[in-house]
Amino acid sequence: MNKLQSLSINLFLLIATSLLLTQCNPSVYTKTPQTSIALDSTYSNQKKIDELVVPYKIELDKEMNEVLVISNDEFTREKGKPETKLGNLVADLSMEVAQKMYNSNIDFSMLNFGGLRTSLPKGEITKGKIFELMPFENELVVVTISKDSLNRLINYLNRVGGQPVSGVKVKFTSTGQDIKYKYRKNDKSLNTTYKILTSDYLANGGDNMTFFLNPINYEKVGIKLRNAIIQYCEEQHAQGKQLTGKIEGRIVYE
């Protein structure tokens, strides 16, 4: 690696760390003296570059090492299961946070296992670990869909073997499916509509969730999924509570 490539990498790290800091904290603008450094193949003062990067890295490490909550359970990123403790946790907390911000009742939430990128350990959960769990900038949205789209959603759950849901339980049998809602009655009318909490990525058809496309209504909740997770963890910690996993038979195959 030549010196110019090395400088490019260090400057990239500088920009990346500063961007992360602006995502984690409210915007505070401070006038800082600027230092111009000429970049060419003969530049060898690596120390000055390091001096620029190190303060950002120290601040970033401090932010990412902040303990948000204690978990008395391990939330494992498991594949091939219709329901997991990790999926239930994120689906549940998304519903709880979003319902406080949304001006109408949400029927249930649905996310995707693929969007949860790591496991959460038992013990201290840091902000950095939440960034590992949810590295994407996905926003929470409420999509209003028709009965026909809901049927396609249920068929999708059956076909892919489940996804994280909250507020609904579905039992698949050889003769059909049994659906039970936590926050609404099972309305058999063909004209009824359903408000589903999900991410903007999935609402736009991500992970083959095409049943969310062309909805009756599409509304932003006003919070990113990652920030909802962080907020929930902070609230649990402030109340002296710990994260606890649960399996409830939300997606069952018989």
Alpha helices, DSSP H only, in the chain?
A: 3-24, 46-64, 85-101, 127-133, 147-160, 200-203, 225-238
Residue 54: predicted pLDDT: 85
Residue 30: predicted pLDDT: 47
Q: Say if residue 203 is exposed, middle or buried (CB neighbours under 10 Å; 0-12, 13-18, 19+).
A: buried
Residue 9: predicted pLDDT: 45
| Residue 186, token pair as written in the block | 């099972």
Residue 26: predicted pLDDT: 45
Residue 19: predicted pLDDT: 45
Residue 220: predicted pLDDT: 98
Mean pLDDT for back-to-back runs of 10 residues, the chain (254 residues): 44 47 45 54 67 84 95 95 98 98 96 98 98 98 98 97 98 94 81 96 98 98 99 98 97 96
Instruction: Determine the 3-state secondary structure of 20 from DSSP.
Output: helix
Residue 45: predicted pLDDT: 74
Superfamily covering domain 68-253 = 5'-Nucleotidase, C-terminal domain (3.90.780.10)
Give the CA count within 13 Å in the CB-facing half-sphere of 226. 19
Residue 61: predicted pLDDT: 86
Residue 198 main-chain phi, psi, to 5 deg = -155, -170
Ranges of each domain in the chain: 3-64, 68-253
Residue 191: predicted pLDDT: 78
Residue 40: predicted pLDDT: 55
| Residue 11, token pair as written in the block | 């400057």
| Residue 100, token pair as written in the block | 């406080």
Residue 22: predicted pLDDT: 43
Contact in structure between 232 and 90 (CB atoms under 8 Å): no
